[in-house]
Amino acid sequence: MKIMNKIIKGFFSSYLSRLIEGLDVSKKAYLFSNLKLAFYEETYDKFRQDYSISNDFRFNGENILFYGSGKIICGKNSYIGSYSTVQSYENFEVRIGDNCSISHNVRIYTSSIFSNQDFNSIDDKLKKNGNVIINNGVWIGANVFINPGIIIGANSVVGANSVVTKDIPANSIYGGVPAKLIRNKSI
């Protein structure tokens, strides 16, 4: 049976290669684009099966990764951009509220290793674990890193290229490394 499968795979592989070689550049690009789109749709559908994600939550781009055995809960009318990663460690959760805008290349983690320890040791490393809660109406800029155990208050902004190490209160604008208060919103 294994030999037969190899023969069949070889035949179809060879056939598809010849078929693709015969296409002009625009048709190859169209085929590739549709295959890539189908791959991401299937990947994001799997995330919807594995986690609690609202039907209108948008995976806004490619190479978005949700992983871990914890919970990931995504609210209504929210999105996350390309190349972002959400990790949820066992017994912890990431909760993204309604009406949130999470830009590209954002990292959200519920578990991280403490830096103040001997990494040369073969012993298990000490970890910091904690839920990450992003409340409603939050805007997170590009290239932001959110550490474990963080709560971001409703209607807040985290500026691009920030590292969030402490909770952010509602109606505020934070930015920097580490993220600090820039100003409170005047609404």
How far is it, in rounded angstroms, from Cα 77 to Cα 115? 36
138: Cβ–Cβ under 8 A, 6 or more apart, which residues?
A: 97, 100, 101, 152, 153, 154, 155, 156, 157, 158
Whole-angstrom distance, CA of residue 94 vs CA of residue 148: 9
**What's the CATH number for 22-181?**
2.160.10.10
Q: And the tokens for 22? A: 């015969």
Burial of 2: CB neighbours in 10 Å, binned 0-12, 13-18, 19+: exposed
Q: Coil, strand or helix: which one is 95?
A: strand
Type of residue at 88? S
Cβ(68)–Cβ(88) below 8 Å: yes
State the pLDDT at residue 13.
Answer: 67
**Those residues with Cβ within 8 angstroms of residue 77's Cβ, 6 or more apart along the chain or in another chain:** 54, 56, 57, 98, 99
Is the omega angle on the peptide bond into residue 148 within 30 degrees of 0, that is, cis?
Answer: no
Spell out the per-residue pLDDT of the chain, length 187, in tens.
566 566 556 656 676 677 667 777 787 677 778 788 888 889 999 999 999 999 999 999 999 999 999 999 999 999 999 999 999 999 999 999 999 999 999 999 999 988 887 888 888 888 899 999 999 999 999 999 999 999 999 999 999 999 999 999 999 999 999 999 999 998 8
Beta strands 127-129; 111-113: pairing state: antiparallel
What are the helix (H) ranges across 22-162?
Answer: 25-50
Cα–Cα distance, 166 to 49 (Å, whole number):
31
